[in-house]
Structure 1
Amino acid sequence: MNQMESATSRANFISWVTHTIVTRHTASRAVPDQGVCLFEEHLVWAASEQHEAWRRDPLPLALHELGSNLRTQVLSAVAALGREYRVVYGSPNMRGQIATTESGLAVAVMSRCCVPPSLKILDARQGLPALPKMEVAPVRSKDSARSLAVDMLYSEALNALKQER
């Protein structure tokens, strides 16, 4: 594996770990067993530049099911701008979010490090509100306490995330 492939693999692993198993909304920090925050990640609006879904009325949204508090904040921020919206896709699956957005069906909310080169990061210039941050915190189930495989993956994920920041 050359240096470029290694860097790409590492970035893909960190993106997968950060957005598949360890993210939480800041409101979760008071909840027991929700991990310790390693860092905060910016949430951004993203869309296909080719399809310009942000120009549609109502605004089509693809939202990750990050928790009712964050979803409420995002929808309230859009409504506060006086924009009509409709949720056209909702899923905890980031790959589904990206596919929906790349196809031009919606504008998505995702963490900055998950935005692929095929999507454009949007902001107030496209009529969209600022978004809150999300905490990255490793969380393990109690059932995984005796699993060597989970111990190893958890340790590798923590090391990768600590090195990244």
Structure 2
Amino acid sequence: MKVFGGNPREIKLANSNDRTKLAIKGRSERTKATLRHTRAIYQIKADGLGDHYKSLGDLMWQILCDIYLRNIDGIDFSVSDLERSLDLSGRLAKRYIAVLESEALLEARGNDGGSRYRNLLLTELGCSKVQSILDQCTDAFTEGFVYSSPRLVKTES
């Protein structure tokens, strides 16, 4: 057995045939491509949503997407719906809503004098930013797959 510096990966490669070595190298290339893609998607979201996204992370994006999806379908979506959907505490959900309102991406409205968190709506700016990010992410995703195109995915209903 030939050992190259004691690295277990190198030992495996040294004992593998050429076909195995190519498979490992191919997986490594796919892994690097996936990581580059993940970074590119992060950068698209960070560019579109700014410093708050950089500090608050992907939960902010998930909240915007959840609300946008319900808004597109014309379904009222309350803070309690958001809490259940993303498994958030009420306090955390309201903090995120406050940040999104301060950025003019979201507005919280009460229905018929009810709680102001009864209906969460993206503002025109919020809709525009989310749609732009989705379009850019779709383009970035399909770039890596020359022969593929976006398809509908099953919904949770």
TM-score normalised by the chain length of structure 1: 0.30
Q: Which has the higher strand share?
A: 1
TM-score normalised by the chain length of structure 2: 0.31
Q: Which has the higher contact order (CA 8 A, sep 6+)?
A: 1
